[in-house]
Amino acid sequence: MMFARYLDSASEIMAAIGNQRNLANHMHNFSGSIRDAITKYGIVSHPTYGQIYAFEVDAYGSQNIMDDANIPSLLSAPFFGYLNTTDTVYQNTRKLILSKDNSYFMRGPVINAVGGPHAGLGQAWPMASIIRIFTTDDDHEITSTLAEIVSSTDGLGLIHESINSFDETDWTRQWFSWANGLFGQCILDLKSRKPEILAQSFQ
């Protein structure tokens, strides 16, 4: 998804150069063929959620139904501009990702977020919580997710790579710069999109 989106954007840059029209067209068409393949092979039918995006598919009809905390991810597809948050298949996929039906959605009293194979079961990634905020307009979801992020730093005030969803003292990477930068971007997004939420106290 991310490659298709950025390849198409790069084709616009290439077209603007002036003498690279053929290459620009090739890039644009290649991006379109990737999108077509995702639509044809990557959308599968789920018995509970309907049409969803699979995390992985193979050439034999098998699908891996999950999501991973890193970007790119299925949850982050609107964040990098592949589709709109209102897309029906995306919304179905999002509901699955943020449910017990995603084996890597970690739930607990500390934080509820997508994790992944990298850090293992039980370890939720605040990065995925940040993307969750980016991809919703629901005030309650934003507020509760933001509260979990800021209260799960083990008193350090820094965003970790992953956190045990039942123990805030069990985390990886004291300062995960990628997630901290993304959190700053999220705050700027909320300042523009939901300033009334930032007027609340999260201490």
| Average pLDDT along the chain, 203 residues, taken 10 residues at a time | 98 92 96 98 98 95 95 98 98 98 97 92 97 98 98 96 97 95 98 97 86
pLDDT of residue 120: 83
Residue type, 79: F
Cβ atoms < 10 Å from Cβ of 109: 10
Q: Give pLDDT, residue 118.
A: 83
Predicted pLDDT at 4: 98
Amino acid at 173: R
| CA gap 111, 153 in Å, rounded | 10
Predicted pLDDT at 188: 98
